[in-house]
Every structure is written in C-alpha cells, then in structure tokens.
Structure 1
Amino acid sequence: MIAVENESFLIRGIESWDISEAPFISEPRLARQLGVSGFRMPPAPDPDSARDGVRAVRFPEMYSCPHCHQLQPFRKFNSRAGRAECSTCQESLVPSRFVIACTHGHLEDFPYWKWVHRGNRTGSGACGGQLTFQSDGSTASLRAVLIGCSCGVERVSMEGSFRRQALRDLGIRCGGRRPWLKDAPAETCQEPPRTLQRGSSSVWFPVMHSALSIPPWSQGVAKLVAPFYDALKDEDPASIKSYVRIVKLLRHHPHYTEDDVVAEVARRRAADTAATEPVDDTEAAKRAVDYRRELYEGEYRSLRKPHPEIAAEEQEFVCEPPSSSIDTLRSSHGLAQVMLVKRLREVRALQSFRRVEEPSPADSPMREAAISSEKPRWLPAFEVSGEGVFVRLDQDRLRVWEEQPAQVHRAARIRQNHEKLLSARAGDSERPVPPSPATPRFLLLHALAHVLINEWSLDGGYPAASLRERLYSDEDMAGVLIYTATSDSAGSLGGVVAQGEPDRLATSLRTALLRASWCSNDPLCMESEASGADSLNMAACHACLLLPETSCENNNILLDRAALVGTPEDPSMGFFSKALRT
C-alpha cells in the first residue's frame, strides 16, 4: 500500500503489469528454488507511450472530508478527474486511516457503519444515513477519533477497535477480499480479521528470497546467454544460431561457438521445466528447502575458493584471500579463513507477502498472500552489486566449543521456544514443520555477524542499514559473509573489503568483542532467561546486538551475546574468551 499525496493505492498483481520493456534478470539457482523461469525488474512508466508499467488500484475506498466530515466511498465525492477533493467543500480528501486484514492476507475497508451502529441500535439493515469522521484533537488516542451517522445514533470513538476480539464480538467476519488482484473472487475464510492502521508495517510483510551470483552461472557462456535467454528459450537450434548471428552475440567472444550457446539454452530450458512442473504443496515445500540448502552450499564452496579478477572478462564474482597472513587471527580468534569478496551480485526476489504476522518458515501456503491470480512463471526482483568479507571459523575448535554443556543448554532454551512457535504457526497444515536452526554454532555465527556490522558501522563510516549478513551454518559449514546491501554510494567503494585485511580485522574484531562483553542494559541483558519477540533471544537487546531490519536475514531473532564472550559467571563458555584474555 502506497500513499501518493493525499491518496492511497495498492499495487496490482503482477499479471496486470506491462512487462514488455521490463529488464530480465537471470539467476538460475534462485529461479529453481522458487519454481519460476526467471525474474523481471519492475517496469518503469513511459510518459511518451503512456505506458504505466506497474499498475495500482485505489485502496482504501473510504475517504473523509476534513471540512464537512463526510465519510463515504471515494466515488461518491464526485471529485474532478485527477483530483481527490470534496465536490462540496473543494477540500482535499483524506483516505481512511483504518483497514482490516487477516493472517491469510485478505484486506478490506474498516466496517465503519457496523462499528457506529453496533448493538443493532437502529434495527436491522442500513439506516440510510450519512457517516461522519471527526478527530477533535483533545487527545492523541483513538478516543478522540469519532464516528457518527446522520440517522441520529450516538457518536462512538474508535477506542477498542484494535482489540483482538473487537470485530469478532460484533459478528464481523473476514470477507476474503483481495483487492490487489483484478476481478479476483472473494475467498471463504475463517480467520478473524484485525483492525490495522493503514500505514502500519503489519499491513504488508514481504516474503523475499535472495541468491548470490557465483561461478559458473556468473561467468562464461552462462553469463553471455543470460540477457538473451528470454528471447531464445522457445526457439529451435537453427533459430538460436540465426539469432546469435543477427545480434552478433559472439563478436567479442570468439572462444565460444554457436553450439555452446545452443547447449546453454537447452541446459537452462531443462532446469526451467524441472523447476516449474506442477507438484503438491508438500512436495513444493520440500523442494524449496532442498534448493535453498543447495543454494547456500554452492555459495559457501565458492566463497572458500579464490576467484581472482580476470581483466578480459566482465565478472560478477571476484573473491581473493588477503595479501597478508591470517596466522594471528587463526591462533588467537579461531578463524580458519578470511576472503575478500571484491565484487558480488545479489538478486532479491519477491515471492509473496503476509499480513498481520511476519513470515515464518513454518507458514502454510494459506497464510501467504499471492502476488498474482495464478501461479506465476516469473517474479519481480532487483539486483544489487557490492562487496564484502567472508569469515570462516575453525571447524575443529568449533566442534569442541559447541559441545560445552552450558552453551548447549542456552541454545536449547531458544530452540524450544522457536520450535513451539513454528508448530503453532504451522497449525493444521500437512506440511512438515521445519526444524529450528538454533544450535550453538548458529547462535555464535549470528552474534558474530551482528557485532562486526555494528563495529564496521562505527569504524568504517558505513550506515548499519547498508550492510547485510549471510550466514552459512550447518554440520559442514561455519561461515559469515558481511556485504553491502545497497546500490547507492555506500554500495561498492572498497571500504568493506578494507575491513577484511588481517591487521584491521584483528583490531575491529577485538574492539567488537570488548563492546559485546558489556551492555549498557547489563546485568539485565546478560542474565535474561529469554528476550526479544516470542522469547527467541537470550542476551541480546537494542543496546548491544540488534540491527536494522534490512541488515539481518533472521529478523533479529536467534541471538545470544554469551556465545561470543561468555557470561560473568563463566567467561570461558564464550568462543572468543581466549582472545579477550590476551
């Protein structure tokens, strides 16, 4: 939902977008995970051809006039074309501040008539009166927002409308409306609707997925074919070769042949077919998990292996070890490897969205609102180019540490709370509930990423929101990638790579650990048995570990500062306790 001056709109479903000029984004590994053939940048409007690209629909439908206080659907104000004003007062209209939504993603205008006539005080049916909306400004609370009707019923305030059971108590049920999808029929829905502020973040939680472009998909013939694949995917070999000659695709790449291009198109076409074949929800969920694991494992392998810059090629992934030795970091901090990612490309795609409650891995498809009427063959996405630093921990030292009883006990508390939440969010779905990743290893890597981002924000001058984490935690993975997550001036200036040089990294890591050893909210923070949303953190708060939402891929949950530095009673339980003592 977007506000444009004094109007409010919903972005339409992607099937109504004009994508004829929308740039195609290639990321085969992510496309396979999401079961689509590719991605598109949101199309931009073209003033010369009157194309509107991404389309929108007016929502909410209810508007009010601040002068005469009328509250009614926008069309009844008879505004002039291109204006949102009251035809009687010539005052700019104000879109309704309140909407109702359910956890299945349905969205409707707030039922003002039912709210002001609750208790059936005027009998059954509509009264035929004119609703009014007025805020007397006496207080900043909902008590000052008054709804009235010209039928003579007593005015009522909006106080109490946000209670969880407020609408259900009035007999108001979810109407199953999806106004962002053109001509979409109302669905049967048993979920109770909730009142929300129109501009609240709870109205729209995106379900995003991302992938790094890594070799071999980011170089060679695969990179060469990617921009043209959309035009070639349905062609036979002869037509593909003809197209290659017409556009002179190989003019600057004589080491490739037309047969190489045909083979690459065939390979991608086969992958598309496998990814988009119809399967049931359970199988689709299983495949998504398998593909995501495969995606992260592939990135982890690429980050561990040097990929030096080659002058003759346009590379999207350049990863090299630092010029000096990391022996000091290895012995004192338990780091096994540091890699400087001098160039990377990330593709982020929007698959669906949630309302009321933020997304969870255990959510059933019923709880995710679709961005198109039918299963899409493509998804909207954007790409970011930047840089980063990859840090890998010593596996042998890590295995010894993560078996400590104290650390196992702390991680078990978080995992128990998380699994309880996942089970509750899964509900009656037949999909298997995913296991919680809250292991000692994960908590350590996650906390390490957060303290480094906070430290580099202070030391390197980067806004914390321009840095992003990517965690590689599994039995065979123990790494953290911190990279720029923005395409503006903070995106690729070399500052993050400079933080990965061993001498500088040793200094910043030690400083970060010293900061983490004491929080301004201690001892409450460190001694907390559970903290954060749904009790999914231990020693973590806004004064020590939490980051801007754009920086954390786990919504600031599954964090414990004690994994890094231990507790005052047992400092040795921290992975970096030895480094702090030296």
Structure 2
Amino acid sequence: MDSELNRSQTVVPFGVGAIYDYLNYTAISLSVDDWDILANSNSFHALKINNPRLQCFVNKKLKDLQKNEYVWVQYFLNPPIKKELGMPRELNDIFYPMPVKKFPEYYVCTRCGHLSKPHPTSNEKARCNNPSTPDWLNSSCGQIQKHKKPFLEPSRFIGFCEDGHIQDVPWKEIMKLSCANNGCCEMDKEQPDLYLRDDGNGLGFASLNLTCGKCKARKNLTGLNKENGFTDKNGNKLFSCKGKKPWLSDDDDECSKELKIEPRGASRIYTPIQETGLFIPDPNLISHPIEKEQAFENARDLYDGSNDDFLIQLIELQLLVLAEKMEPVLTETQIFDLIKKHFESKNSINDQQIDIDSEQDDFYFKEFNVLTSDLKDEEYESITKDFSSFNNFTKKYLSSLHAINKLKATTVLLGFERAQGKFNCAQSTSNFLPAFEISGEGIFLNVGYEKVKNWLDQNSGFLDREKTLLNRAKEDFREHPALYSETGFIMLHSLSHALLRQLSLECGYGINELKERIYFSHKNKMAGILIYTSSSDSSGSLGGLVRMSRPEYFNGMFENAVNNSMNCSNDPICSESIGQGLAGLSFAACHSCLMIPDLACDVIPKNTYLDRSTLIGLESNLKGYFV
C-alpha cells in the first residue's frame, strides 16, 4: 500500500514506525529497507540530499545509540511520494510510492461492534459483512444492502512494549478468560466471533465490554491498561509482548516484556529521533568535483579496504574518463587516494569513543561561527548588520545581528522510541536514511555569551528552578538533554518564542512557516537565536524575514516582543505558576504568552523549558535579562 503523506510528513512526525489515520484505513510506515526506490538508480540519485557535515554527525550519533549494531549511513534521501495523474513524465524519478502496512489489523464495526480483519492490501474503506445477529440488534450487517453496509473503523487501542514492538490488543486471549468451558472453540479461529462495545458512560476501559458471539460470555475491560491488570489466580500476567515489528520485513523477536495497552494516538507510542543541520559551506568536505559524480560514489561504496585491484580496474574503466574532463585533472593514484580517504574517515568513526554531548556542542558551534560571519555561496549567504544604525535597546541586549539571505536546512529521521525504551533505527540494512530539505531565509541574533554569563552570575536564584526542572525531566518517559534545564538556554528559548510570535504579526510569514534554532554553550561560549523560514517551497524565500533585520523594522519589533512578554491574559496564574505545560517543564509560560505551534518550536518535547521570568523577572529575587 502507498502513503498519501507529503514528503516532510513522511520523515517527521509520521516516519518509519509511526501510525497514521489515512482517509480509508490506518497504517504504519515501513522501514526504508522496503522502499522500492532501491531498484531504481535514477530515483536514488535524483532524491539524494547533500549535507556531508550532518551525515558525519548522524553516524556518530547512531554509533552512540546502537554501539556495534549500527549500519554506516552514506546518504540522505528525500522520501518518495505517490505520483498523481497528469504529472509530467520527467518527474517519474522523484515521485515513487512509499510503502505502508495496515495497522492495527483488527477493525470494529460502527453498527454491531464486530471485531474483524479486513483485506490487508485493499485501498477501499472496509465495510462490515458480519452474518451473525448479536443480541442487541434485530438483523445482521450481512443482510444490509452492499452500498449501505456500515463501515469498519480501526481498533482504538494497540499494545506495545519498551523495546519498540507493537501489536494488536490480544482480543482472543482476553476473551478466553470468560468464555465457557475454559475457552470457546471460537477463540481458535483466525477471525473469531467477537464484539467490542462501549456502553457510552464515558468511564474509559470500564465502559468497554468484549463479548463472545458463540457462547455469549462477556468480559469487562476494566484495568486493561494497568500494570498486571489482567492476571490469573496466582497473580501471573496472562499475556506479554509477542515481539512483533510490523514496520519491518524481519521475523518477530522473542520478547517477554510487559505489554502496555494505549490508544493508538498516544504520544508515548511513538517518539521520533531526528536531527537537523544547516548546510554550511566547507571547501574541505569536497576536495574535487569528481566526488559529486555517481560513478565515484559507486566506487566509494564498493571499496572495503581490501579489494585494491578491483578498485583500480573500476577507476580505469569509469573514473579516469570523467577526471580528464575536470579541473584539476586527476591521475589514477589521486582518485584512488580520494576513495581511500572516505574509507578511512568511515573507519575512524567506527574506532573512536564518542562523547555525543560534546560532538553536538561542536556541531552547533560550527554553524554559530558561520552565522556570525559574512559569507556568500551558492547555497548560503549571510551579512552582518551595521550596529551603529540600531537603537540603544538593541545594542544593549544583543552583540550583533545578521541577515541570512539564503540557507538550507536538512532534517533527518534516525529512528524512534516507544515510551522511554530501546532506540529503533529507521533502517536495518540500507545505507541511507529519510530526510527532507528546506531552502529559505532567516535572521540570526547573536545575544552574546558574555552578556548572558554576566546576567547569570548576578541571578543565582534561578538555580533552584534548574534543579526542579532536572528532577521533573527525570520523571518523564522521554530523555531530556541537561542543557535544556539551564537558565541561559531557557532565557534564549523564551526570547525566541516571544520573537516568533511578534514576527508572525509583522514579517508576512505565518508562525507555522517560521522555525527556531537555539545556540547556547558554556564550552564554546555561544549564545544566539536563529529564526528562519521552514517552508519547503518557494514561499520560504520571499524576503519578508530578512527585511525585518533592517533597523527601521527590527528596533520596534524587538522591543515589542520583550514588552509583550511582561503581561499575559492569564496572569497572575501564569506568572506565579510553579510548573505548567507538559510534565510541568515550564514555569511562567502558557498559550496566551509564550507557547507557539509545535511546528515552529525546535525543542523536544515541544513548548517546554519556557519561563517569562528569565526575560522580565516576575519575582522579587529573580531579575530578568531585560530588567
């Protein structure tokens, strides 16, 4: 079956392992190992994304997450999407069906409540054809005219475990608890005669009843989502995870973990692990034009460090002809050395011990250095604004301002987790990951590390809040970087949200078309905010955001953003809050003052680690940065 999602959606939030409600069915996105694109070299080449710096960092992060199990990632690919009728033939290489699989398998009739499994590959909306008449109806769904038969809806609940396995709720095993004669013969069928009904009292699982159509036994589902909610007389749990991985073609795993039951849309069921990186010019990454050629990439992929003779033959047959047409002209030995350099770079990551927090810090620092410089390239252009033209308020609280006329940002899906469990990579054997790229514009505010550091040194009272956030983060099922709890980061993040809300009113872009990126580090002494357009089409480069970096626009916008954060329509409840939002990970921040649409927020979980008091000081012992 094919996905109906657009490109960016098939990376996040509905990438590999995620469940999405399509128009006619519900399905899970399959691993990149199952993409048909692998058989089409033209499509593979047309959909590639070039970001070597991000590729290097992603490989380091995968090695940190998977240790010796990880597979080297050589490419990022735009996900293929379904081609529509009437599209030009020349677009065949970039429009390609991406596979999904119906999940959950069990569907429920909207009329009689019958549980059944519709055809797994049909694109039509399934209808109930149950020939039996339950006690609460006068006729069966099978007797109704074909075009009037009631629709089937996917089961609201699924089972999963912390290792990432996911499956249907074991309806047959549950029903066996109450069926006559220690298990009705109906329970041995592939599609038993089962009914799932809600009594309409709105009491959650206590309102749900599972009924056997054969022996008429009924089982109330109270406690189904509780730990050890369904046990035998000795207190042993009656069912555990079966190790199913419907997003993969692999065999099921052996698993005895506790099976958790949740609504299929629950946030705990799917947490994407993603990375975003700006494309920044680096002449050291591509040392010769031949490295961009498909033939060179093929030779690089085939070289394993021991097949030197084979590689030399490949160079003589394919690459020397290409090299003769390029400047500077390369010899056979020089081409061999280039391929060997790539192989050694790959092995160096395999062999080294990785401190991923330090690597991430350095990854951001390279971007910070480019963003604060004047640079012009085909893919990137930034200009430092003359600060003498800005008012005293701007010069007091910022160190510099930069107009980013052109930029490219790549977002790649590494994999996912279920609850706070095992990392599951988006690929098992393939050497690429799904990604999407956006081109746009932006403005970069270099707040200045020394300015922030001086403010922090004079306001040690924020340390108590840092400790509170760290403790709350440990209680959440997600993993939270320690950096997020630091007051300096929270201040920059809060300022960024205030700016995004104000810019959406003044720059011509909607807030859903803007995105933030926070740069804060004690190690590399950086403190800055990048706000850029996040639209993947031409509307992301209309110039409205860069225009806001002019003094006549920026001065007023910047002051308005700060002043508007002083008041909230929910004050004093908001300003005096000791914890609100997801897991209580924000203080003075709500939907009336600092929270923004999830698409615009770069911090995961979204709209967390926000506090207006870091900006304007809402308590007597806490002095905000702008006070």
TM-score when scaled to structure 1?
A: 0.82
Does the 8 Å CA contact 2:470/2:482 hold for their aligned counterparts? no
Answer whether contact 1:324 1:501 (CA < 8 A) is retained.
no
1:272 shift after superposition: 3.1
Structure-1 residue corresponding to 2:437: 383
| Pairing 1:533–2:575 present | no
CA distance 1:214–1:327, change in 2 (3 Å): same
Please show how residues 390-429 of structure 1 align to structure 2 within 5 Å: 390-417=444-471, 420-421=474-475
Other-structure match for 1:453: 500
- CA change 1:288–1:439 in 2 (3 A) is closer
TM superposition shift of 1:528? 1.8
Q: Specify the alignment match of 2:182 in structure 1.
A: 124
The alignment status of 1:175 with 2:242, answered yes or no, reads yes
Residues 417 and 536 in structure 1, CA contact (< 8 A), matched pair in contact too? no
The letter for the 1-side match of 2:547 is A
- Aligned counterpart in structure 2 of residue 291 of structure 1, from 344, 359, 373: 359
- Aligned twin of 1:40: 77
Alpha-carbon distance in 2 for matches of 1:393, 1:499: 17
Contact 1:221 1:261 in 2 (8 A): no
1:454-533 alignment, distance < 5 Å = 454-475=501-522, 476-488=525-537, 490-533=539-582
Residue-by-residue CA offset, 1:159-193 (whole Å, 9 max, x unaligned): 65444654578633222221111132223242x33
**Identity, % of aligned positions:** 25
Question: Shift of residue 383 of structure 1?
Answer: 0.9
Change (3 A) 1:373 1:269: closer
Among 158, 170, 184, which residue is 1:111 paired with? Answer: 170
What is the one-letter code of the residue matched to 1:464?
I
Matched letter for residue 182 of structure 2: S
2-side partners of 1:525 and 1:536: how far apart?
A: 13
- The one-letter amino acid paired with 1:100 is G
- Please name the residue that 1:346 is paired with: 409
- Structure 1 alignment gaps of length 5 or more: 310-314, 358-365, 427-432, 578-582
- Matched residue type, 1:509: F
Amino acid at match of 1:58: K
Q: Structure 1 residues 79 and 501, CA, compared in 2 at 3 Å: closer, same or farther?
A: closer
Q: Provide Cα deviations, 1:349-397, integer angstroms capped at 9, x if missing partner.
A: 111112245xxxxxxxx522333345x5321111111111111113333
Match in the other structure for 1:231: 298
Note the alpha carbon deviations across 1:136-157, whole angstroms, 9 max, x for none: 6676966665432113344455
CA distances 1:426-452 after superposition (whole Å, capped 9, x unpaired): 7xxxxxx96444222211111111111
Deviation at 1:53, TM superposition (A): 4.2
In structure 2, do the counterparts of structure 1 residues 325 and 161 end up closer, same or farther at CA, with 3 Å as the change threshold?
farther
**Matched residue type, 2:424:** A
**Number of residue pairs the alignment of both structures matches:** 542
1:532-577 alpha-carbon deviations (Å, 9 max, x no partner): 2223222111211112222222132222111111125368x11112
Distance 2:276 2:255 in 1: 33
Contact 2:29 2:247 in 1 (8 A): yes
Q: Structure 1 residues 518-527 or 399-408, which shifts more?
A: 399-408
TM superposition shift of 1:401: 0.7
1:565 is matched with: 616
Q: Which whole-Å CA distance do the structure 2 matches of 1:187 and 1:108 have between them? A: 14
Give the match for residue 63 of structure 1.
107
Q: Is the 8 A contact 1:66 1:134 kept in 2?
A: no
**Aligned partner of residue 424 in structure 2, secondary structure:** coil
Q: Which segments of 5 or more consecutive residues in structure 2 lack a partner in the other structure?
A: 1-18, 60-72, 132-141, 187-191, 304-310
Q: Deviations over 1:287-339 (max 9, x none)?
A: 44343222111101111110135xxxxx1111112367355357654211111
Tell me by how many angstroms 1:465 deviates.
2.0
Instruction: Please give the alpha-carbon distance, in whole angstroms, between the structure 1 residues aligned to 2:121 and 2:83.
Output: 26
Deviation at 1:126, TM superposition (A): 4.5
SS of equivalent residue, structure 2 residue 412: strand
User: Are 2:490 and 2:609, in contact at CA under 8 Å, matched by a contact in 1?
Assistant: yes
Aligned partner of residue 427 in structure 2, secondary structure: coil
Separation in 2, partners of 1:217, 1:377: 25
Q: Aligned to 1:11, which of 25, 29, 51?
A: 29
Distance 1:406 1:522 in 2: 25
Q: How far apart are the structure 1 equivalents of 2:396 and 2:274?
A: 34
Alpha-carbon displacement from aligned partner over 1:58-109 (angstroms, at most 9, x marks no partner): 211112334554313335xx99896734456343433222211223321110
Partner amino acid for 2:172?
Answer: W
User: Normalising to structure 2: TM-score of the pair?
Assistant: 0.76
Mapped to 2, the partners of 1:288 and 1:418 lie a distance apart of 23
1:241-252 mapped onto 2 (5 Å cutoff): 243=318
**Following the alignment from structure 2 to structure 1, what is the Cα–Cα distance between the partners of residues 224 and 468?**
34
Asked if the contact 2:448/2:526 (under 8 Å) is kept, the reply is no
Match of 1:95 in 2: 154
Contact 1:326 1:337 in 2 (8 A): no
Structure 1 residues 166, 562: CA separation in 2 closer, same or farther (over 3 Å shift)?
same
- Report the alpha carbon displacement of residue 117 of structure 1 after superposing the two structures with TM: 4.8
Aligned-partner Cα distance in 2 for 1:334–1:264: 47
Asked if 2 retains the 8 angstrom alpha-carbon contact of 1:79 and 1:86, the reply is: no
Residue of 5, 13, 27 corresponding to 2:51: 27
C-alpha RMSD over aligned residues = 3.6
Could you say if the C-alpha distance between residues 305 and 81 of structure 1 is closer, same or farther in structure 2, counting changes exceeding 3 Å? closer
> How far, CA to CA, are the matches of 1:39 and 1:451 in structure 2?
33
2:7 counterpart residue number: none
